[in-house]
Structure 1
């Protein structure tokens, strides 16, 4: 069956272009997303604490990184599943599995002290489910609102992410302090559980079929016969759908350069703003509090960008704005290594957060509006794989390069890589001229 035949809506969303911040359907989705993301933040606090308490620092590091492998290996397949089953159904199922898994580990920790193995299994399960969950989450906004409201929804989503990051950490720490890792896991499971009934109540827009869907139906329609034949046909059809999605991205005049711009922007951004910032603070003698101020400046800038988009709702000349925001953010990243004191660094970090948040939200909105509905899960999977699978590889490379050459050259190099993303946007005529729908 195809994506359009398996994602029949329970109730069709209103045709009227209701502002997203006044749309009860969008607000229910946003509440579900916020609860799930806050639960994720609490979960990671609980997992890191439990792993440190149950093993050596090296073992704890392994447990924390276990989820990355299945997430990276299975992400593209998760995009196929999201397109075939529908993002709403996949997100509901994923959140239910995540909730039950976390609660099971919480119960196990309440009853006994099993060591590291259940934590490793939990991390492995979370990474596997995330490979399906993340593409579906990225494809869902286009199903809960109109095209003209997607920029505002991206801003609201950014605010939810910032809220979850700010609130989730203290809540997780408080839960650990009160009842240990078991209580923190139970609290994380409860927060994730809140999202499930909210998602069930969300109405899904019916989206039109397209050529990609018709292409997939030609293959999937022939999957009949015995059990082994059906299994082989299902695998073959899924592989075909994946190849169709990748070919679709490669040939698309906007999505192809957009994916390259996202990859370059993330590769140049992740290293300096994670491990690089820690090493810079240590080199300058700012200490942990100084690094906190710089991170706070970045968070405030990113939150301000999300708030701007949520309030304004649309940005004219989106392709141009995205390119210049990316270039300006690159310059600010390079400047971060040369500021004289922590106050100036916090100000520059605020500018980085503002420009990076703006360009990132516009990337997401263009991705949502340019992709054909039947391929949106696969398109989101590729973008997520670039951001969450490949970009983090720059962190150990940045650390090693800073050790060899110092912070200045590495930050400048990272800024140049990030700036290439803006150059790609300006060089691709269709992407440069891309507009968001009104």
Structure 2
């Protein structure tokens, strides 16, 4: 019997990945909403998207066996609502919000793993006295601010002075509504404590600056059992907050990874998250031998799919599909053709610019051919403004991504340089 799995925001790249998974010969994958609606925009009308998704599901003449996704907001917060309505497996909306509502998440962490949580407080960026109230919460410069709900590194700022805070609040006031209004709708659907409901979607977090070697632990919970299955290093460009590449498997000491896995099992069990994938971002402060938990995401990291396929043999979408169908994930280890793999981000560090030239499709193909198995995605087109790119951090623009594998990290970095020599981007109207 064919089992029907609906995938929110399914595109052709991910459809190909899904068809290569284990145990899907009897699975039919169906798109639910388009990538343009859920990931290629900064406008999210969640009630309208839910209605369209429900209309599609109601009109389907067959069994609905799973509803899944691999994208951050708004997909991650729509999934529990749809799964609840159609009686398919996923974690509860409240357990997801304990991860995605950053203030609630920090409060829950402080209960279960207090030694791994920085000082934090919530604040209203529209409050002219916000900076003094942050000080009353025992947070001093430098600290970091970010929205209560965001995706990627969008609207995240390091604050070293009152001037930095003024700049950040100006940007937050101008742009936070794109996330806060749809997130408030999701919050209204949940059973929340009064103190959490009062911290609405337009609020922000101020947190003690933490640092060290950053990584992401990918994991899942199956019938109450928390299973971390892989750790990916997050390497930044020198002296800036922007990511240069993600590297799998992690080069952190085994004892550090084991401790992160222990923390992961503790916090996810405490939250009550179940029957879904997740990832947790950590820092290891090597000098103090201190592990900090940065944040929890209620999805697998899409950026890591190719890395797991290159090293382990299949994309870790295996986890998402198996859990959606109610079975223990059949995630292999070390069965891929490469020893290490990475996603590199080609970035430009402008305030804004106009794209004057992009590599042609043929040029991209030639560049990818420099290293077998390389995949390149360009995010810009000629004459567009960089500020039109969605989901960017506050310090740079990701112009392209390059996924590739190798037998060792040094060879991987050398290969990346050879590929990038073939890609020529040009920019005008540059605002430094």
In the superposition, the TM-score normalised over structure 1's length comes to: 0.25
More contact order relative to length (CA 8 Å, sep ≥ 6): 1
Select the structure that is richer in strand.
Answer: 2
Select the structure that is richer in helix.
Answer: 1
